[in-house]
Amino acid sequence: MARIAYDHADAAAFEATRHLADGGLASWRAAAIRHLAPHPGLRLLDLGAGTGSWARAFTTWFPGADIIAVEPSAAMRARSVFAPILAGDAAHIPLEDDSIDAAWMSTVIHHVPDLAVAAHELRRVLRPGAPVLIRSAFAGRHQAITLFRYFPEAIRVLDTYPSIADVESAFADAGFATVAIEQVPQITAPSLREAATTLRREAHTPLKLITDDEYAAGVRRLREAAQVDTGPVIDALDLLVLR
């Protein structure tokens, strides 16, 4: 089971607020190109594709590539901006052995109940030498993420997520080794005011798992800061690349 069960309200919030604009995507496009060497015919798995924004972006970035989206939540699949999107999860990927050139996992690794099982399942579907790119907030690495500045109580939730070392260890058992760890900056919102106005609790696992009082206090901090901070919201998530 994932940490939260994505129902239709959660999926709607995710679709409304978690899709990055083109400006926020630019740095991720550059990072993906560094590690994927895109070419026509590339078969890229977007595992835990959510509402399909990354699969759609990869289709635009990599003309001629075959993007395969897999998502366990029926509510997320129903709101996907990318089609087709297949039912499946990290323990049950509905693809043949040795059929994929690369895998992408964005903000999903903390929902995987058994990392070792997921690593072996990815090893099964990936061709020899194919990379896994994991975009995530990892335990102990909240400092570059604006959300935790105003919701410090959510750090305790983040610290229950897998650490980079946890993921490396689980994937090593399946024959993967780390080839890169980098922080990738992104423009998450054009302003803190915009971030405060569009915030949806349902779209953020750490916010759903704190108390109502803690969430309300964080909203107050965020709205107060938004009155004086007019610059863009720039965050940095980690990209862990294994091969």
pLDDT in tens, 113-125: 999 999 999 999 9
C-alpha 102/C-alpha 45 separation (Å) is 6
Residue 185 lies in a domain: yes
Domain that holds residue 77: 8-242
pLDDT for position 230: 84
For β-strands 66-71 and 85-87, DSSP reports them as: parallel
CATH of the domain at 115: 3.40.50.150
Residue 144 lies in a domain: yes
The pTM for the full model equals: 0.94
pLDDT in tens, 83-138: 999 999 999 999 999 999 999 999 999 999 999 999 999 999 999 999 999 999 99
Any idea which residue has 């940490």 for tokens? 3
Residue 1 lies in a domain: no
C-alpha 24/C-alpha 113 separation (Å) is 29
First to last CA, the chain: 26
pLDDT in tens, 20-66: 887 789 999 999 999 998 999 999 999 999 999 999 999 999 999 99
> Which residue has better confidence, 19 or 210?
210
Structural domain count of the chain: 1
Residue 235 lies in a domain: yes
Residue 30 lies in a domain: yes
Residue 22 lies in a domain: yes
Residue 3 lies in a domain: no
Q: Which of 3-12, 80-89, 221-230 has the lowest mean pLDDT?
A: 3-12
Residue 129 lies in a domain: yes
Q: Where are the alpha helices (DSSP H) in the chain?
A: 8-17, 22-36, 53-61, 74-78, 115-125, 147-150, 155-158, 164-172, 192-198, 205-208, 212-226
